[in-house]
Amino acid sequence: MSIATLTQKGQTTIPIQIRTYLDIHPGDKLEFFIDNDGRVVVSPLTVEVTQLKGLLLKPKKIISIEKMNQAIKTSGGQHEGN
């Protein structure tokens, strides 16, 4: 068990054993929440939503929902190997 002290500003130092276990480093963001049993859970926030921007490529050709639905009907919803 590790013990840490809370400063007047609400700050604390996370013990090295915990930082090593979570593989967290200075500047990393942490998520805090209370689980159903009333325990505080801390976990590293691995990816910010803003970092996902541009991850997916824009489609080369825009297809309407109607055309997608028609293509599904035409193919009978079959996959290769059926």
46 lies in which domain range? 1-52
**CATH number of domain containing 41:** 2.10.260.10
Structure tokens belonging to residue 44: 């590293």
Instruction: Let me know if residue 44 belongs to a domain.
Output: yes
How much is the pLDDT for 80? Answer: 56
Specify whether the CB–CB gap between 40 and 32 falls below 8 A. Answer: yes
Q: How confident is the model at residue 1 (pLDDT cuts 50, 70, 90)?
A: confident
Say what the pLDDT of residue 40 is: 94
Looking at residue 5, its amino acid is T
Residue 54: the pLDDT is 73
Residue-wise pLDDT for 28-75, tens only, equals 989 999 999 999 999 998 766 676 777 777 778 888 899 889 988 888
pLDDT score at 16: 95
Domain membership flag for residue 2: yes
Q: For residue 5, is it within any domain?
A: yes
Task: Assess if residue 29 is contained within a domain.
Answer: yes
Quick check: is 78 in a domain? Answer: no
Total domains, the chain? 1
C-alpha to C-alpha distance for 48 and 56, rounded to whole angstroms:
15
